[in-house]
Amino acid sequence: MTNRRLAEAIVKKWGHNVTCWQVFNPGISHWISADSETLIGYRAVGSGAVVVGEPIGPPDVQVNEALCFESLFNRVTWFGASTTFSQKFRPLHPRTHLPIGFQTMIRGDQWDGVLSTSASLRYQLRRATAKGVQIRRFVGSDLTQISRVLSQWKTCKFPINLYFMTDPDIALHPDSRVVWVAHINEALVGYLISSPVPHRPGWLLEQWVRAPDAPNGTIELLVHTAIRELTTGTTHTVTMGLCPLMVSPQLSPIRLERCLYRLGRMATRAFYDAESLTQFKLKFRFPDHERLWAITTSGWKLIPCHIDVLLAFMTRPSTIRD
């Protein structure tokens, strides 16, 4: 079995963190444990490494495998780690646990209740439908139009391209990821990628993109369709991923959290609008919130950690290194 196929098998068996399928994004390297049961996806940055989430494998060996991986680098940052993993690591020093935001989640059987209490969401769904927007699953012939829409969207939204955990490859894993496309007649006006979280079980909705001329409500209709189609008859969870550098309205702020986030937003405002992204995600009213973490081995020497994370997201990948 090749490293790529083995990595896929581990994710399908043990993937619990919502970032688990992002280990296959372009430029992500893979470390696999000696017993072939644990996978770590990471990006090497100088003498350090930035990890996608946390180790994917049996929960009882997560910490041991994490320590094995850390021994390979001068410093390691676990980016997007869950609170459960953070708590496992806390007895081990020196490590600094920094909150980086939160994610919102919803069970499939809760969605109708959200719609019934949100007139604005219902209005957006009706508006997109009235404008002729229809949703279907991706087919191979959509790639050209998707590339065009993605290029237009990035030009409008981001002065700097971001990679690492924000840049999924649509053409990879068509048997696992589900891509939804919004179209009017034959013209593609938006799309959304849904990636499985097998061991939770649930789905991560990521990279929702709309054309500049897409009707209002296009993304809302994509999200609505994905939740309905992926979770009907189940209690599977759905999340739209990290709300970065923002305090959850449902979680009690921890010490210095607001100050850290304010500084982070000031440092990244030129190329990333964390506030608008969070406001958009909150409009869907997913009821459950979970704090996410960056855990670094650099102690309180945080500047190298911050530089590693920025370089991981901002450096264009060349080839995938296994």
State the average pLDDT over residues 256-268: 90
> Please, what are the domains in the chain?
3-105+241-314 (no CATH), 106-238 (3.40.630.30)
Confidence at 173, pLDDT banded by 50, 70, 90: low
State the average pLDDT over residues 2-20: 93
Q: Tokens 């670094």 — which residue? A: 296
pTM above 0.75, yes or no: yes
What are the pLDDT digits (tens) for 33-60? 999 999 999 999 999 999 999 999 999 9
What are the pLDDT digits (tens) for 83-127? 999 999 888 777 899 999 999 999 999 999 999 999 999 999 999
State the average pLDDT over residues 78-84: 96
Backbone angles phi, psi at 170, to 5 degrees: -60, -35
Q: What is the DSSP letter of 270?
A: T
First-to-last C-alpha distance (Å) of the chain? 13
Q: Which of 68, 48, 66, 67 is nearest to 57 (CA)?
A: 66
Confidence at 1, pLDDT banded by 50, 70, 90: low
Report the alpha-carbon distance of residue 212 to residue 189 in Å, rounded.
Answer: 8
Report the alpha-carbon distance of residue 227 to residue 124 in Å, rounded.
Answer: 16
